[in-house]
Amino acid sequence: MMEPQLITPISIGDVVTKAEQAKKDGKRLVQIGCTKIEDNFEIIYVYDKNYQMTSYRITVKQDDEIPSISGIYFGAFVYENEIHDLYGIHVKGINIDFKGTFYKTTIKHPFSVTIVKEDDTCQNK
Amino acid sequence: MSKQITVPFGPQHPVLPEPLHLDLVLEDEKVVDVIPTIGYVHRGLEKLVEKREYTEYVFIAERICGICSFIHSQTYVQGIEQIMGLEIPERAQYLRTIWSEYSRLHSHLLWLGCFADSMGFESVFMNSWRLREHILDDLEATTGGRVIQGVCKVGGVRRDITPEKLDEMVKGLKGIEHELQDLTNVFLHDSSIQHRLKGIGVLSKEDAYYLGAVGPTARGSGLAIDIRETGYAAFGKINFKPVVEYDGDCYARCAVRAKEMFTSIDIIEQCAKKIPDGTVDMKVTGAPDGEYFSRAEQPRGEVIHYIKGNGKKNLVRHRVRTPTFTNIPPLVTLLKGCDLADVPVIVLTIDPCIGCAER
Amino acid sequence: MTYLAKSPWIIHYDASSCNGCDIEILACLTPMYDVERFGIINTGNPKHADIFVVTGSINEANREVIQNIYNQMPDPKVVVAVGICACSGGVFRECYNVAGGIDKLIPVDVYVPGCAARPESIIDGIVTAWGILEEKLKNKVSSPMVSDHDHKAHHKHAQGGAQ
């Protein structure tokens, strides 16, 4: 069995300070991921040092604006553009902002809506 | 300052088997800025969890990528097993380890071939793909599939390997080991290859760490990040050391992959000696309720499957962070300041796997 | 087929394939399967190619690329859809960004099923395509230019896609 994983809930305002703290502690950014839970969106920031993961969770609504941590971790821009394109959450101040062209999708913000392909006969609905 | 021009690279490009698009901003022959565009392979398969039960979804997880296929399914089922608190039979853990090292061998040989081809070294391309067929034959004989194996399931694996076959596999690997040695020696000690790779595309240790480089890209820069050390599957019971090179240039990244192939052979041998008897699967009832970050080391680096279930047959969220996705920022940094002619070589040293990256 | 006017050159494009079929196509070129014995060469330039081998299904970003490559190829030309994703969408047909098989966009001559398609069946498909190529050459068939105007018009109307 692997170690249990704790995800600490924080507020939107703490995102940047926690990122700064993580960088000071010599942690690397592992990933930023988003999940839709009913009407809310959970964004999880994961940092790692010596295979010990530290995770922070924020809960936001659609069209909320979250601060970018790409000023602290340059590589965060890929995750932040992804969150913007797939979920429609605005991220303020990304260093390389694709402005919604990172993923070209048929449906705008596909992960924020329920999708049923009407014209397809063989699918589980 | 001279005039800047933008040169598109890809999506359909002779050195890229997969579509990746880069806009290269050039000043004369020097690349001054790089803007990556992805999305040519984006299918949106993570959203299929809403339509597939968590046990069926293993097949989708496996098809995220046809090269890292086995390790994707392994990481996914590991996550589900963690959430459900399943202690799967030890034999299944060892079998997963053996197959994951086989897929690493096949992936590294594939990369070596494509990489040699990108700089016109045709004979290495042909020879490494010839050796790769031995690996694929073993994979096919034991799992039933060449590149998509479909052998992992929640609660264990679908097939067992008989002790005789296991012996045969180890003997087969021993047989190709010296050929592999010849091949990598030719590749790594060739003076024109060294001329092409040494000192090109240097990624410092600090950059690699904070930009999020993983796998051979990080290990080529002196970072010993190898998720196998956390001891998932049977790796905790195996002796191995991650291969690390310190120069951070294209040559170091190539050397890491070339040497890792021998580590993989060694791991498979150790597994064949230590593998216990017993069953290879267990009955699974219920559905996952909880969340977990499942990690594993793919040929290209650390992969993360985030799985969240709420006690129903369909998961709430499956999010995959693949090694190539997090290797994009280091790639962008690497390309700045290089010559246009070196771009294909540098791109291929991070071993991009676009199918993984875009899901 | 005992005599052929051409050595067919292929161009391969990975639409939204998982790489499984792509690496099997590459495996066809290498010593184990060796399609070069038929004179088949994998080229990177659409203007040199006779056979267009596509893996994976259509999505929003690559429809333009596929059309461009198809339109740039000289006549006669043959399209081979390799793998079940290229034939119909396969396991990904229900994904929001997958529009279906390649035949929704360009005319397909040979379908090679399988996930992933095995090198043997890929070679079989390409050799079948070769026969069709000869036929098209004999009858001087010219392939239509394909365009995506309908889709674009629809797209504007539906306001889909990220902006």
**CATH code assigned at A94:** 3.30.460.80
Q: Provide the number of structural domains found in chain A.
A: 1
Share of chain A above pLDDT 90, in %: 0
CA-nearest residue to B129 within chain C is C30
Q: Which residues of C touch B112 (CB under 8 A)?
A: none
List pLDDT tens digits, range B148-193. Answer: 888 888 888 888 888 888 888 899 888 888 889 988 888 888 888 8
Q: Answer yes or no: is pLDDT of A119 > 80.
A: no
Band (A3; pLDDT cuts 50, 70, 90): low
Q: Facing residues of C53 across strands?
A: C12, C80
**Residue C66 touches partner B, C-beta closer than 8 Å:** no
**CATH code assigned at B218:** 1.10.645.10
List pLDDT tens digits, range B264-273. Answer: 999 999 988 8
CB contact residues (below 8 A), chain C span 104-133, against chain B: 115-116, 118
For the residues B214-237, what does the mean pLDDT come to? 86
Check residue C156 and give its pLDDT.
41
List pLDDT tens digits, range A22-53. Answer: 888 888 888 888 888 878 888 888 888 888 88
Check residue A115 and give its pLDDT.
65
DSSP state of B92: H
Contact C23 B42 (CB under 8 A): no
Band (C162; pLDDT cuts 50, 70, 90): very low
Q: Answer yes or no: is pLDDT of C159 > 50.
A: no
What are the distances in angstroms from CA A54 to CA A47, A104, B21, C59? 5, 32, 33, 36
CB pairs under 8 A between A and C: 45
Contact B63 C13 (CB under 8 A): no
Q: Rounded to an integer, what distance in angstroms lies between the CA atom of residue B81 and that of residue B281?
A: 12
**A69 domain-assigned:** yes
Query: Rounded to a whole number, what is the distance in Å from the CA of B123 to chain C's nearest CA?
Result: 10
Check residue C77 and give its pLDDT.
87
Give per-residue burial for B107-127: e unless 16+ CB within 10 Å, then b: bbbbbbbbbbbbbebeebbbb
Q: Which residues of C touch B147 (CB under 8 A)?
A: 20, 23-24, 116
* B35, B37, B304 member nearest A31 (Cβ): B304
Q: Which residues of B touch A29 (CB under 8 A)?
A: 210, 212
DSSP state of B281: B
What are the distances in angstroms from CA B228 to CA B184, B241, B264? 24, 10, 11
For B328-354, the DSSP string reads HHHHHHHHTT-BGGGHHHHHHHT---H
* C61, C94, C159 member nearest A117 (Cβ): C94
* C96, C99, C161 member nearest A104 (Cβ): C161
Neighbours of chain A (3+ CB pairs under 8 A): B, C
Q: Which residues of A touch B204 (CB under 8 A)?
A: none
E-strand spans in A18-64? 28-37, 40-49, 52-61
Band (B118; pLDDT cuts 50, 70, 90): confident
**A119 domain-assigned:** no
For the residues B310-321, what does the mean pLDDT come to? 85
What are the distances in angstroms from CA B311 to CA A4, A124, B45, B220, C115? 19, 20, 21, 42, 31
Share of chain C above pLDDT 90, in %: 2
**A123 domain-assigned:** no
**A120 domain-assigned:** no
Cis peptide before C116 (omega within 30 of 0): yes
Which residue bears the tokens 């959203």? B47
**Residue B230 touches partner A, C-beta closer than 8 Å:** yes
Residue B302 tokens, joined: 């650390």
A114-118, B275-279, B315-319, B350-354: the lowest-pLDDT one: A114-118
CB contact residues (below 8 A), chain A span 67-96, against chain C: 85
Contact B291 A7 (CB under 8 A): yes
Query: Rounded to a whole number, what is the distance in Å from the CA of A20 to chain C's nearest CA?
Result: 31
* B59, B66, B132 member nearest C21 (Cβ): B66
For the residues C49-59, what does the mean pLDDT come to? 87
Between vectors from CA B258 to CA B255 and to CA B260, what angle results, nearest 5°? Answer: 105
Query: Residue B140 is part of which domain span?
Result: 4-358
**Residue B293 touches partner A, C-beta closer than 8 Å:** yes
Average pLDDT, chain C: 80
CB contact residues (below 8 A), chain B span 3-62, against chain A: 35, 37-39, 42, 44, 46-47, 50-52
Query: Rounded to a whole number, what is the distance in Å from the CA of A40 to chain B's nearest CA?
Result: 13
Band (A91; pLDDT cuts 50, 70, 90): confident
* B17, B44, B148 member nearest C97 (Cβ): B44
**Residue C162 touches partner A, C-beta closer than 8 Å:** yes
Contact C32 B146 (CB under 8 A): no
**A2 domain-assigned:** no
Q: Provide the number of structural domains found in chain B.
A: 1
* C60, C93, C163 member nearest A106 (Cβ): C60
* B42, B229, B304 member nearest A51 (Cβ): B229
Q: Which residues of C touch B176 (CB under 8 A)?
A: none
Query: Rounded to a whole number, what is the distance in Å from the CA of C137 to chain B's nearest CA?
Result: 27
For helices B163-189 and B90-118, angle between their N-to-C axes, nearest 10 degrees? 30
Q: Which residues of A touch C161 (CB under 8 A)?
A: 104-108
List pLDDT tens digits, range C116-151. Answer: 888 889 888 888 888 888 888 788 777 777 776 555
Average pLDDT, chain B: 86
Average pLDDT, chain A: 79
- Asked if B30 contacts B338 with a C-beta cutoff of 8 angstroms, the reply is yes
Check residue C149 and give its pLDDT.
56
Residue ranges of domains in chain C, CATH in brackets: 9-157 (3.40.50.12280)
**Residue C94 touches partner A, C-beta closer than 8 Å:** yes
List pLDDT tens digits, range B240-273. Answer: 888 898 888 889 988 999 999 999 999 999 988 8
Contact A123 C61 (CB under 8 A): no
Q: Answer yes or no: is pLDDT of A123 > 60.
A: no
Band (C160; pLDDT cuts 50, 70, 90): very low
Band (C2; pLDDT cuts 50, 70, 90): low
For B149-202, the DSSP string reads ---EETTEES----HHHHHHHHHHHHHHHHHHHHHHHHHHH-HHHHHHHTTSS-
* C16, C31, C92 member nearest B126 (Cβ): C31
Query: Rounded to a whole number, what is the distance in Å from the CA of C43 to chain B's nearest CA?
Result: 7
Q: Rounded to an integer, what distance in angstroms lies between the CA atom of residue B86 and that of residue B282?
A: 9
Q: Rounded to an integer, what distance in angstroms lies between the CA atom of residue B103 and that of residue B108?
A: 8
List pLDDT tens digits, range B68-81. Answer: 889 999 999 988 88
Check residue C45 and give its pLDDT.
82
**A1 domain-assigned:** no
Q: Which residues of A touch C99 (CB under 8 A)?
A: 106
**A122 domain-assigned:** no
